[in-house]
Structures are given as structure tokens and as C-alpha cells.
């Protein structure tokens, strides 16, 4: 199954307040494995960049001034997305900005039925925990050392790894699970823990001698009130 994991960077928090999308980054996955195919674009928002937003992603007015308008690259983006499910973290935010840009250039919106929200999945799977992308990367051991500032493509790449872990990890399909189980059994049988290993004394090559039997009978006779002797203690 083909899926697209994506992220956006914007001039603010609300399209209804005039905020615009300035960066779009996406990662293609097939059967929850990254194919190496990505989509990345910066867009001229045709407005100023508030200092609060610049502090998050570092995309300045000067940097974006010579970038294309969203309308100029909309067809390419739509072709890349195809009809695949679209995965984002706090997906309502990203869908809102994507569909706002599509509306501005007179194109139909992306159906919300295609939305997969990893934030909602994380809240269900880890109630009471922190659910930011950074927190989930830490939980699942995803390297985020390059994430100094937010960036749409980098965040999409990190989210793709987190998404796989949220959906059960890299072992996709029963065959992989069975292979892992077989390897585990083999490891236990052929490489037992040193702490569990014990020397087993070999069986005696013969029965007890007459002398040994006599010594044993004498020892037993000295035990007073033995339970196995008739008349022993109650």
C-alpha cells in the first residue's frame, strides 16, 4: 500500500487569519517502507514572515522572495500525492493549510477521508505521555540530532519512522514474526545463558555395592520415628 507522510511550514497558525504555507515536504512509503522518493518545495507566501514563525523554521522574507508561488507548482504536488492516504502529525493543521492553498489557486481540496493523524494515534497508544514529534522520536529511538529548526522534509522523514513504530514497528507480516520467533528459540537452545548452564553428573556405570547398601541400612536404622517406618511419628 502506498502512503505519503508529509509536513508543512507556515507563516502562522491559522489560514483564516491570512497565514500561508511556505514549505511542503513529503516522503513516499510502500507497505510502510520508505521508497526513497520525496517531494520538497518552498513557496513565496506573498506576505511578510512574522518573527514568531521565523523563530520556528528560520525561513525569512528574503529567502522566500524568489521562490515560486504555490499555484505554479500545485499540479506537480497533486500528481505526487495521487490518491494515497496522507499522514501528518496534528494533521488537521497541515490539511487546513494545504487545502487553503488549493482553494486560493482554484483547485479542489484534498479529502479529509485520506487523513491519518499520528498525534491521535500517539494519544491513544501512549495516554498521559508527551506526544510532540521530538518526544516520540526520543521514545522510539529515532535520531533527531539534525533537527535544530523545524523543516518540512526533515520532519516528514522523522515522522515516517515514528509512524512505522506507532503502527507496530518494522516486523510487517506474520512471516517476519515467525522468523524472529524461530531465531529466538534457536538462540536459547544453541547459546544458553551461562547463568542457567549447570554440569550434569553422568549416570553411575553400576548399582550400589553390598558394602554401600549395608552402610545405608545402618544409617537409616539410627533415625528415630522415621515417617517411612511403620509406627513412626504421626
pLDDT tens readout for residues 1-50:
999 999 999 999 999 999 999 999 999 999 999 999 999 999 999 999 99
d(CA 41, CA 22): 8
Query: Would you state the cell numbers that stand for residue 181, as one nine-digit string?
Result: 520467533
pLDDT higher than 50, residue 185: no
Which range (108-117, 123-132, 174-183) has the least confidence?
Answer: 174-183
d(CA 47, CA 18): 9
pLDDT tens readout for residues 114-153:
999 999 999 999 999 999 999 999 999 999 888 867 899 9
pLDDT tens readout for residues 189-205:
333 333 444 455 555 55
Domains of the chain with bracketed CATH: 2-172 (3.30.420.10)
Active site residues: 150
d(CA 155, CA 150): 7
Alpha helices, DSSP H, located in 38-192? 51-57, 61-64, 70-81, 91-104, 118-125, 133-140, 152-166, 174-190
**Residue that wins the pLDDT comparison between 55 and 190:** 55
Query: Would you state the cell numbers that stand for residue 143, as one nine-digit string?
Result: 535520531
Q: Structure pTM?
A: 0.72
pLDDT higher than 60, residue 228: no
Q: Which of 179, 109, 9, 82 is nearest to 170 (CA)?
A: 179
With contact defined as beta carbons under 8 Å apart, do 43 and 22 qualify?
yes
Residue 42: C-alpha distances to residues 122, 126, 173 (Å): 29, 34, 38
Amino acid at each position: 500500500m502506498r502512503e505519503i507522510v508529509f509536513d508543512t511550514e507556515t507563516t502562522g497558525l491559522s489560514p483564516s487569519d491570512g497565514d500561508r504555507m511556505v514549505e511542503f515536504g513529503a516522503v513516499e512509503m510502500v507497505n510502510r517502507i520508505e521508497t526513497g522518493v520525496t517531494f520538497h518545495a518552498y513557496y513565496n507566501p506573498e506576505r511578510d514572515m512574522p518573527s514568531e514563525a521565523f523563530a520556528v523554521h528560520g525561513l525569512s522574507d528574503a529567502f522566500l522572495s524568489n521562490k515560486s508561488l504555490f499555484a505554479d507548482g500545485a499540479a506537480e504536488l497533486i500528481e505526487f500525492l495521487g490518491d494515497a492516504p496522507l499522514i501528518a502529525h496534528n494533521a488537521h493543521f497541515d490539511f487546513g493549510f494545504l487545502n487553503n492553498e488549493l482553494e486560493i489557486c482554484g483547485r479542489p481540496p484534498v479529502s479529509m477521508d485520506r487523513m491519518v493523524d499520528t498525534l491521535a494515534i500517539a494519544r491513544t497508544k501512549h495516554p498521559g505521555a508527551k506526544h510532540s514529534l521530538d518526544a516520540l522520536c526520543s521514545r522510539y529511538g529515532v535520531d533527531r540530532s539534525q533537527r535544530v529548526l523545524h523543516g518540512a522534509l526533515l520532519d516528514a522523514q522523522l515522522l515516517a519512522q515514528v509512524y512505522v513504530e506507532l503502527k507496530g514497528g518494522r516486523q510487517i507480516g506474520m512471516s517476519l514474526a515467525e522468523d524472529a520467533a524461530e531465531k529466538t528459540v534457536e538462540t536459547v537452545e544453541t547459546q544458553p545463558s551461562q547463568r542457567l548452564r549447570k554440569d550434569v553428573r553422568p549416570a553411575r556405570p553400576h548399582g550400589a555395592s553390598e558394602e554401600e547398601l549395608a552402610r545405608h541400612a545402618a544409617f537409616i536404622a539410627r533415625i528415630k520415628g522415621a515417617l517411612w517406618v511403620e509406627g513412626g511419628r504421626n
